[in-house]
Structure 1
Amino acid sequence: MPDISITQPHSLSQTDARAAAQKVADKLAREYGLTCNWDGDVLRFARSGVEGALTLGERQAALRIKLGFLMSAFAATIEQKVAESMRKVFSN
């Protein structure tokens, strides 16, 4: 399975970082039909052919996505869109 790994530095409080992560998750859910749920400071998401987690740290957010065979054809597009979304929401 192809993996996408994105680390985004931030200077947000934990509360604001969690709100930013939720914005990313909401966008992923809308665009790719993912289900998302929090497990502490880790936002887990999945659907058929896609699974991943967004882990919040004090100064960074780390996203890891595993794509199945069919979704791997879209890996570059997915990575670009998600990286841009993370830059936007975690820079505030």
Structure 2
Amino acid sequence: MSDINVRKEHTLGLAKARKVAMKWAEHAEAKLDLECTMLEGETSDTLEFKRSGVTGQMIVAGDHFEITAKLGFLFKAFAGQFEAETRKQLDEAVAKAEAKAKKA
């Protein structure tokens, strides 16, 4: 069982969802010191991330994102905060991307 589980539905399609995921990865690498690797597929991608004490993945599909992560012992006490912040950042990124897509 994962310590963090976040699912976010969207209407972006896979190409735009990939862009959102790549921005999320850039932020995670810069601010959270996570090492991110994107594995592209035909119908969905998997963005794997890790650092000392954290391993996880983001499934990037044409209609949703799904983030799961396992936290090491030192981070488990903050699982709720990490999940809330992850959900907030993903909600904001999707809202921004969907608003931009509607304008185009």
Q: Same fold (TM over 0.5)?
A: yes
What is the aligned-residue RMSD (CA, Å)? Answer: 1.5
Shift of 1:27: 2.1
> Which position in structure 1 is the counterpart of 2:22?
22
Segments of 4+ moved more than 6 angstroms: none
How many percent identity over aligned positions?
32
Report the Cα distance in structure 2 between the residues aligned to 1:27 and 1:67, rounded to whole angstroms.
Answer: 19
Q: Which has the higher contact order (CA 8 A, sep 6+)?
A: 1
State the one-letter code of the partner of 2:23.
K
State the one-letter code of the partner of 1:62.
E
Specify the structure having the higher radius of gyration (Cα). Answer: 2
Q: 2:56 aligns with which of 47, 52, 55?
A: 52
Q: Number of aligned pairs?
A: 92
Unmatched 5+ stretches in structure 2: 98-104
Name the TM-score, length of structure 2 as normaliser: 0.80
State the one-letter code of the partner of 1:28.
A
> Which position in structure 1 is the counterpart of 2:71?
67
Report the Cα distance in structure 1 between the residues aligned to 2:10 and 2:16, rounded to whole angstroms.
Answer: 10
